[in-house]
Structure 1
Amino acid sequence: MKLVLKGIIPPMITPLTADGNLDIDGVQRLIEHLISGGVHGIFLLGTNGEGPSLTYELRKELISYSCKFVAGRIPVLVGITDTSFLGSLDIAEHAKKAGADAVVVAPPYYFPISENEMIEYLECLAPKLPLPFMMYNMPSCTKIHLTIKTVKRAKELGAIGIKDSSGDMGYLNSLIEEFKDSPDFPIIVGTESFLSETIRKGGHGAVAGGANFVPGLFVDLYNASVQNNHLVIDELNKKVKYIYDTIYSVGKYESRVTKGIKSALSVMDICEDHMALPLRRFENGDREKIKSYMNEI
């Protein structure tokens, strides 16, 4: 049966120990927290998962333990984006062996590439993938904004959907319009504040970073959006805005969202907030701000 993705799929953070190893107990606690919150899947090794900063060995360890702990209860998606073509395939093969359900493909980063080069890359990659693949548009990190032409070619090559983290509502609407007659090709938004509007326009869900620490909030917002319950949508969107104004606004660097999510989870005693270099966790003052905001939440 073809995997159909929808709902809330958190981009799971990667719990780490102080010495940079995988926090296995933290992984298990986090997964149970997510599943008990009603999420519809998890996405490993994305941007919030610090995937590109982790060794291949640690990535594989995370995949194996996550699939073991999930035990088939929800779909597991694995990000395989890498500067190395063979490195991406290696992680994909491991994901298959570990029991993951799909992989997620963003453009290889570092070198700026053209639309034609991206399409040729997919034409080489897709036939070799051992699992269904979902596209991931993340222009702020990859130096390329996936065009509709590229996404259509990806679909022809077997892609089962796309996650758009461009933050461009106009582009997101164009995706929804282009694939409105393809319900088996879901459009998933990565900008969580766009969730209700995405569902209203015909999209299918969100890869919401905040669902790491408040999964129930985003699951409820998704359900209210599907049911077109405006009163509940308005109330829950106020809570999402509060997260943006507080947890995501601590610190002065672009990495503050991922740091804020990990710090929030540490306040909840789910896992520590250690980061993979080059990122560093918040200092004490900022961590205290996160703690006070979480008390309010």
Structure 2
Amino acid sequence: MMKLPVKGIIPPMITPLLENKELDLSGLNKLVNHLVDGGVHGIFVLGTTGEGPSLSYEVRKQLITETCRIVNKKVPVLVGITDTSFDGTMEIANHAKEVGADALVVAPPYYFPISQEEMGDYLESLLPLLPLPFMLYNMPSCTKLHLSIEVVRRAKELGAIGIKDSSGDLTYLYMLIEEFKADPLFSVIAGTELFLPETIMNGGHGAVAGGANFFPKLFVDLYNAAVDKDLEKIKSLREQVLKIHKTIYEVGEYSSRHIKGTKAALLAMKICEDHNAEPLQRFTEAQRSLIKEYISQFNYKNEYNSIH
């Protein structure tokens, strides 16, 4: 049984792909070990940063299987099962259970616009069938639905162990923390990495931080500083996170630049390839060179990373 509450730094792991869009197995092995060695508290596969909905079921299943094998129970593995199809959602959920994943992550199906009430009904149908503990995932920019507190409450009654909030709405995040603070086992996890200190110091539990793909130790240190309420340390570490946002995340002009930039950073660090799943394409040579230059400006190669 997974230890509750879910907490700490849980990177939304990218999916390392080869040019032919098959799984980059060597890169995956290096990436998972890089994350675990960096001290992360869990790994979340097939989220937005992992390009989950863009991958074939075959690649999704292979990614879950291989990640669970490499992690080997050192940290919990959480699996995104969100799909437009109910059966597709269940297929991935059941596979995750079979190969040793620890928890599932559920966002609204993302094609037809649905109401809060319809989302509640969907959860009533889906959640009792899930074979593992599950968290909710609020990702309105990709799903068209900003989960209401009422829907989250309904999910909790159906057994949800927490929520990952990627709305970018700090007021909503505080409302979630306030609403569920009476249950210390229900996790409120920030999807916006810059909100990490506020989340922890106000009673939340952690962050699904995309930047932890390449600098896991930086985010683990920031989490620990927030737990310790070490304001001086929080300030200096947050400056480094802001630097990531001003450099690596600012290459390219489309919103997909976060995913592409993260993959390009991992390529620059010789961890894995940087190919994307369609419809996304990887950065141009000039953009990749820029990312490489930015990565070299951080002194974390030695201090923060297992990759030298």
- Structure 2 CA distance for aligned equivalents of residues 91 and 144 of structure 1: 22
- Structure 1 CA distance for aligned equivalents of residues 26 and 209 of structure 2: 23
Query: 2:120 is matched with which residue?
Result: 119
Contact 2:2–2:76 under 8 Å retained in 1: no
Shift of 1:238: 0.2
Shift of 1:3: 3.2
Query: 2:139 is matched with which residue?
Result: 138
SS in 2 for 1:210: helix
Query: 1:93 is matched with which residue?
Result: 94
SS in 1 for 2:104: strand
Query: 2:305 is matched with which residue?
Result: none
Query: 1:37 is matched with which residue?
Result: 38
1:44-93 C-alpha deviation (Å, 9 max, x unpaired): 00000000000000000000000000001000000000000010000000
SS in 2 for 1:174: helix
Query: 1:66 is matched with which residue?
Result: 67
Contact 2:2–2:102 under 8 Å retained in 1: no
- Structure 1 CA distance for aligned equivalents of residues 221 and 33 of structure 2: 18
Residue identity matched to 1:51: G
Aligned residue pairs: how many?
Answer: 297
1:257-283 C-alpha deviation (Å, 9 max, x unpaired): 000000000001100100000000000
SS in 2 for 1:127: helix
Shift of 1:150: 0.1
Shift of 1:285: 1.0
Identity in percent: 63
1:109-132 C-alpha deviation (Å, 9 max, x unpaired): 011000110000000001100000
1:197-242 C-alpha deviation (Å, 9 max, x unpaired): 1111111000000000000000000000000000100000000000
Give the RMSD, CA atoms, in angstroms.
0.6
- Structure 2 CA distance for aligned equivalents of residues 84 and 237 of structure 1: 39
TM-score by length of 1: 0.99
Query: 2:3 is matched with which residue?
Result: 3
Residue identity matched to 1:3: K
1:150-229 → structure 2 map (5 Å cutoff): 150-229=151-230
Residue identity matched to 2:82: T
- Structure 1 CA distance for aligned equivalents of residues 60 and 27 of structure 2: 15
Residue identity matched to 1:188: I
Query: 2:246 is matched with which residue?
Result: 245
SS in 2 for 1:162: strand
Question: What stretches of structure 1 of length at least 5 have no aligned partner?
Answer: none
1:46-61 → structure 2 map (5 Å cutoff): 46-61=47-62
- Structure 2 CA distance for aligned equivalents of residues 165 and 116 of structure 1: 20
TM-score by length of 2: 0.96
SS in 2 for 1:172: helix
